């Protein structure tokens, strides 16, 4: 199985919105509504931000939203804040297995 | 609140077997969750290793399947990872995590395992 494709980096200014894409195939992202997104700050464990494409766990800011179209899922962060600067990973279910994206470093300018 | 804690040797010799345990507290390992191992080489991305259900049913990353064994000990409320024939490429922070269905909602803090002689 191949890793999902994410941009290596994205950036935005405080208050702006950014979108991170996660591209897979019809065998993973496109085939199941089981895409999740994780935020990881340096030296910390990942934190679940979005599950099942567009659902937010309790306690996660509504500035974070997820969507999917075909084989590409997206994470949108609106009203960027300095604390959003982190690495973001997508993940998808794929036929009794799971796969991550390569990760995207978000820089808040 | 469920908490997970990894433990095991921080240094493993090449060709040896990496063994880690994840202790689950604040909840039962026999609940309706999959229990996973995920690793992250220094400076790199996340890689799913595999998962186990309390029944003993397992799923593994195809790229690691020949070297991985995940087991569960319900009496101790913990699950374990064994990775055989390790090389320097297996040096990573290893995380255990809980998956209630389709994503990892709870993570351990991670433990660094270095493969070196």
Q: Read off the pLDDT of residues B41-59 as tens digits, 9 standing for 90 and up.
A: 999 999 999 999 999 999 9
Question: With an 8 Å Cβ cutoff, are A97 and B62 in contact?
Answer: yes
Kindly report the nearest CA distance between residue B107 and chain A, in angstroms: 7
Say if residues A105 and A12 touch (Cβ distance below 8 Å). Answer: no
pLDDT(A1) > 80: no
Output the CA–CA distances (angstroms, integers) from residue A26 to A94, B8, B36, in the order listed.
9, 38, 24
Say if residues B67 and B61 touch (Cβ distance below 8 Å). Answer: no
Of A34, A89, A100, the CB nearest to B102: A34
Residues A98, B114, A5, A44, Cα dihedral to 10°: 90
Residues A20-71: tens digit of each pLDDT: 999 999 999 999 999 999 999 999 999 999 999 999 999 999 999 999 999 9
In whole angstroms, what is the distance from residue A91 CA to residue B48 CA? 9
Q: What number of residues does chain A have?
A: 109
pLDDT at A95: 85
Question: With an 8 Å Cβ cutoff, are A97 and B47 in contact?
Answer: no
pLDDT at B96: 98
Residue with tokens 């493993």: B12
Q: Which residues of B touch A100 (CB under 8 A)?
A: 45-48
- Nearest chain B residue to A50 by CA: give it: B103
Closest residue by Cα to residue A1 from A20, A23, A25, A21: A25
């Amino acid at each position: 199985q191949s890793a999902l494709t994410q941009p290596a980096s994205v950036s935005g200014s405080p208050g702006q919105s950014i979108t991170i894409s996660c591209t897979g195939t019809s065998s993973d992202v496109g085939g199941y509504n089981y895409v999740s997104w994780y935020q990881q700050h340096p030296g910390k464990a990942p934190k679940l931000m979005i599950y099942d494409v567009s659902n937010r766990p309790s306690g996660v800011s509504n500035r974070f939203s997820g969507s999917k179209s075909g084989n590409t899922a997206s994470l949108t962060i609106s009203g960027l804040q300095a604390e959003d600067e982190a690495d973001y990973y997508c993940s998808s279910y794929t036929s009794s297995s799971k796969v991550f994206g390569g990760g995207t470093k978000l820089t808040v300018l | 609140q469920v908490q997970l804690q990894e433990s095991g040797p921080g240094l493993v010799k090449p060709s040896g077997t990496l063994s880690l345990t994840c202790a689950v507290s604040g909840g039962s390992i026999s609940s309706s969750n999959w229990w996973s191992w995920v690793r992250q080489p220094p400076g790199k991305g996340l890689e799913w290793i595999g998962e186990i259900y309390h029944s003993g049913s397992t799923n593994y990353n195809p790229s690691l399947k020949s070297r991985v064994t995940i087991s569960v000990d319900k009496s101790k409320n913990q699950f374990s990872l064994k990775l055989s024939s390790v090389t320097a490429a297996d040096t990573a922070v290893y995380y255990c995590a809980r998956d209630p269905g389709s994503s990892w909602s709870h993570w351990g803090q991670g433990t660094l395992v270095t493969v070196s002689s």
